[in-house]
Amino acid sequence: MRARVVRVALVAATVALVLLAVPLAVAVRYAFFADEGGELERDAMAAVVRVGPDFTAGDPVELRAVRPDEGLALYDAAGRLRSGSGPARGGAAVTRALAGGVARSRSGGELVVAVPVSSGERVIGAIRASTGAGTVWTRVLWGWAVLLGLCLVALGAAVGVARRQASVLAAPLEALAGTSLAVAGGDLTARAEQSTIAEIDEVARAHNTMVDRLAQLLEHERHFTANASHQLRTSLAGLQLGLEAALDDPDADQRAALAEAAERSRHLDHTIEEVLRLARSGAGMLASGQEQPAGDVLAAADRRWHGAFAEDGRRLTTIWEPQAGRLPVPGRTVEQIADILLDNAQRHGRGTVTVTLRDLGTAFALDVADEGSAGLDPRVIFERGVGEGSGIGLALARQLADAAGGRLSLASTAPTRFTLLLPLHAGG
């Protein structure tokens, strides 16, 4: 780009200089010839003063040239040379001067000026002043050489300015190209800097907006993958443990095991659907989903998790009043949050786990508590990657709560108690 800008500026400057220099060259030529003609006319006028009327009677007249390359000659009324340096016959210029006017002409490589000599009101002769046109052309060529030198200096200055401007224009574009390559290489934190050129700044802003959007999309995809992996792993582990337990126990009720597996499969389907709904919603609210009685949601959670806690020698207790159990809640969202909180309590908590459902009038509260203590700052416990595990579960639970119009918080650290607040009839 730099070379292209310099070429464009060079062409523009050359055209401008040609358009300016050609008329100036013509003006220089005209001015030098006009100036030389004026000099010859002044010298001829000065010679006329020294010519008396008696030269027609044969009196000698002495003419002295002012400049060494100049010729002066006196002609009588018949156009014959009487004195000085010149041709025997005066020529056209002298003929016009004898008619009573100053005449200028160029002939035979000479610049000629003829001035009439008058006595009284009668023209009695003419003074012819001449010089070689080559002398004038030498001056013209020197003038043209100076003009050409000035044009070259101007062209050099134009090239210098063009190179500087090319650097000013190219630098932000090169920086933008470098930023684009960095983004293509995987650095989504790279951003184009602002410059002093409005058009390039507009491109940089559009580029940064594109990268921001791309980073958001990639982050969204990463979160979706992590969320799906986390939730499906938990559901599949429960399904696998139930089936393996039924296979290992020859006295197990196979029908009950299959019923439990079918329920866990339905829950797995709900998990997939909820993760997909969350991914489609982005940072917005979750679309309205099917509502279920809160008691049914907690009863299903108790069935899924009771065996897992029992294997660890721990108790799982669910508590709700009949009125609270009939509250309509976004079932699939609440069951996903409950699963995450119960999974967190199993992995990181201690002792009995208590799930409590409370009716707050315009909202309901779901508490999941255990007898352990949270070792993380409540301000960062819901951030991704924080904690001993994958750092996904609690972040996903809060994201689900926010998307449903609710709020999930760590209400107590010793003992650990998480509380989900969700408005009634908010949609799931």
Considering the four listed CATH numbers 3.40.50.700, 3.90.180.10, 3.30.300.250, 3.30.565.10, the one that applies to the domain covering 224-423 is 3.30.565.10
Higher pLDDT residue, 298 or 247?
298
pLDDT digits (tens, 9 = 90+) for 144-166: 999 999 999 998 998 888 888 88
Cross-strand partners of 423? 363
pLDDT digits (tens, 9 = 90+) for 205-221: 898 888 888 887 777 66
pLDDT digits (tens, 9 = 90+) for 271-303: 666 666 666 665 545 555 678 898 888 888 888
The b/e string for 399-424 (b: 16+ C-beta within 10 A; e otherwise) is bbbebbbbebebbeeebbbbbbbbee
Cross-strand partners of 367? 356, 419
Residue partners of 59: CB distance under 8 A and separation at least 6: 52
pLDDT band at 425 (very low <50, low <70, confident <90, very high): low
pLDDT digits (tens, 9 = 90+) for 172-195: 888 888 888 888 888 878 888 887
Got the DSSP string for 123-191? EEEEEEEEEEHHHHHHHHHHHHHHHHHHHHHHHHHHHHHHHHHHHHHHHHHHHHHHHHHHHHTT-TT--
Predicted pLDDT of residue 428: 39
Query: Residue ranges of the domains in the chain?
Result: 2-152, 224-423
Return the minimum-mean-pLDDT range out of 66-80, 215-229, 301-315. 215-229
**Order of strands, sheet of 122-132, starting from the edge strand that comes earlier in the sequence:** 81-84, 70-76, 122-132, 110-119, 103-107
pLDDT digits (tens, 9 = 90+) for 369-411: 998 887 777 777 888 766 555 567 788 888 888 888 889 998 8
Average pLDDT of the chain is 82
- CATH no., domain 2-152: 3.30.450.20
Q: With beta carbons less than 8 A apart as the criterion, state whether 299 and 267 touch.
A: no
Dist CA 274 CA 266 (whole Å): 12
Is pLDDT above 70 for 254?
no
pLDDT digits (tens, 9 = 90+) for 318-344: 998 888 888 888 877 888 888 889 988
Predicted pLDDT of residue 420: 93
Is pLDDT above 90 for 113?
yes
**The model's pTM:** 0.49
Is pLDDT above 90 for 1?
no
Is pLDDT above 90 for 248?
no
- Mean pLDDT over 242-270 rounds to 68
